[in-house]
Amino acid sequence: MKPFTLPLPANYRLHDVLAFHSRDPEGVAEEVGPERLRKGMLIDGVPVVLEIVPDHPAAPTSASCAVHADGKLSAAAQARVREAALSILGLRIDPEPFSKFAAKDKLFGPLTRAQPGLRIVQSATVFEALTWAIIGQQINLSFAISLRRTFILQAGRQHGSGLWCYPTAADAARLELDDLTSRKFSRAKAETLLRLAGLVADGDLTLELSPSNSIEQVSTALLAVKGIGPWTVNYGLLRGYGHADCSLHGDVAVRAALQHLLGEETKPDMARTEQILARYSPHRTMAAAHLWASLHPRGAQA
C-alpha cells in the first residue's frame, strides 16, 4: 500500500493524540515518540503497522502515513487502514460545532475557551474500542492498561517488526476462559470479552455500519449482550465510531468533573448527570471530552 498524507486542522493538538496512544508504558501494540506514532493492528487477518509522522511536531499541518503490511492488502483493507488513521488522529468529530453551541453556556463556555481545539481521539477499530471499554469497566486505569496488554499478548499477533497487533474478534474468540482468568481477569470480564468476540466472529453481531445497520441498531444489539451495559456501549460508540452524541452519565470521571464545575460537595448521581448532559445534545461526546480534560492537564482523556 502506498503512503498517504492526511491534512490536519489549524491548532491541531498533537500532544492529546500522543498522550492517548502512549498510556501503556510498555507499548506492546503502540510505539509513540515526540515525532511519530506506530500502531499495530490486524486488517483482514494481515498484520499491519501504521506509521504516522506529523510534518512539524510543534505545529503540524499534515501527517504522513506509511503502511507496513506482512502481506497483500485488498482495496477494502486499504480503505480500512485509512479509516483507522482518521480515528487514531482524532479527525472524526469536528470540535467547532460544540464550541459554538456552548460559547455562552455557564458550565461549558469557560471549558471550551480553556481547551480550544480539543478532540476525541479514537481506537483504531470498533472492536478495539469495545474490548477496551469492557476491560476498563469498574477498575482503575493502570490495572485496565495491564489487562489490555495481557489481552493483546494472548490473542494478538506479532508484526514482522516485532510490534504486536491488536486482536480481531476471530483471534479473541479462539481464547479459552482460563487464558484470561489465570492472568488477573475476573471471570465476568473474561466471559463478556469472549462472548462479544464470539458473536462478532460468527457474524451474529455486525459492527459495520450500513443503511441496514444504523448506530442505533448497533447500540441496541450491544445492550442485548450479557455483561455489556449503557456505559460500555456509549464509550464504545465514542471511541469506536466517533459518534457525536454519546451520553457518558455513568462515567465516574464525568460526574467528578461536573461536581467540580457545579461547586458541590458530592458528585451528581447518574440520573441528574444524564439530565445535565441532555442539554448539550447532539454534542454530548464533546461535552464528555471537555469534562475529562478539565480534570487533567493538557486535555488528557479517559
Which pLDDT tens digit goes with each residue over 232-263? 999 999 999 999 999 999 999 999 999 999 99
Asked whether residue 27 is assigned to any structural domain, the reply reads yes
Asked if pLDDT for residue 143 goes beyond 80, the answer is: yes
So what's the pLDDT on residue 193? Answer: 98
Beta pairing partners, 166: 41
What confidence tier does 61 reach under pLDDT thresholds 50, 70, 90? very high
Asked if pLDDT for residue 28 goes beyond 70, the answer is: yes
Quick one: what percent of the chain has pLDDT higher than 90?
95
* Structural domain boundaries, residue 50: 4-94
Asked whether residue 273 is assigned to any structural domain, the reply reads no
Asked whether residue 112 is assigned to any structural domain, the reply reads no
Asked whether residue 263 is assigned to any structural domain, the reply reads no
| CA-wise closest residue to 299 among 88, 12, 97, 43 | 12
Asked whether residue 43 is assigned to any structural domain, the reply reads yes
Asked whether residue 90 is assigned to any structural domain, the reply reads yes
What confidence tier does 298 reach under pLDDT thresholds 50, 70, 90? low
So what's the pLDDT on residue 299? Answer: 44
What confidence tier does 69 reach under pLDDT thresholds 50, 70, 90? very high
All cell numbers assigned to 62: 499534515
Strands 30-32 and 4-7: unpaired
So what's the pLDDT on residue 301? Answer: 55
What DSSP state is assigned to residue 299? G
Other residues' Cβ atoms within 10 Å of the Cβ of residue 141: 11
| CA-wise closest residue to 238 among 172, 230, 157, 159 | 230
Asked whether residue 86 is assigned to any structural domain, the reply reads yes
So what's the pLDDT on residue 302? Answer: 61
Q: Per the structure, how many domains does the chain have?
A: 1
The CATH number linked to 18 is 3.30.310.20
pTM: 0.93
The Cα-based distances of 170 to 47, 83, 86, 193, 197 in angstroms read 14, 20, 24, 12, 7
Average pLDDT over residues 264-277: 96
What confidence tier does 35 reach under pLDDT thresholds 50, 70, 90? confident
Average pLDDT over residues 137-150: 95
Residue pair 237/246 in contact (Cβ under 8 Å)? The answer is yes
pLDDT digits (tens, 9 = 90+) for 181-232: 999 999 999 999 999 999 999 999 999 999 999 999 999 999 999 999 999 9
Mean pLDDT score of the chain, rounded to an integer? 95
What confidence tier does 34 reach under pLDDT thresholds 50, 70, 90? confident
What confidence tier does 296 reach under pLDDT thresholds 50, 70, 90? confident
Asked whether residue 71 is assigned to any structural domain, the reply reads yes
Q: How far apart are CA 120 and CA 229, in angstroms?
A: 22
So what's the pLDDT on residue 205? Answer: 98
What confidence tier does 16 reach under pLDDT thresholds 50, 70, 90? very high
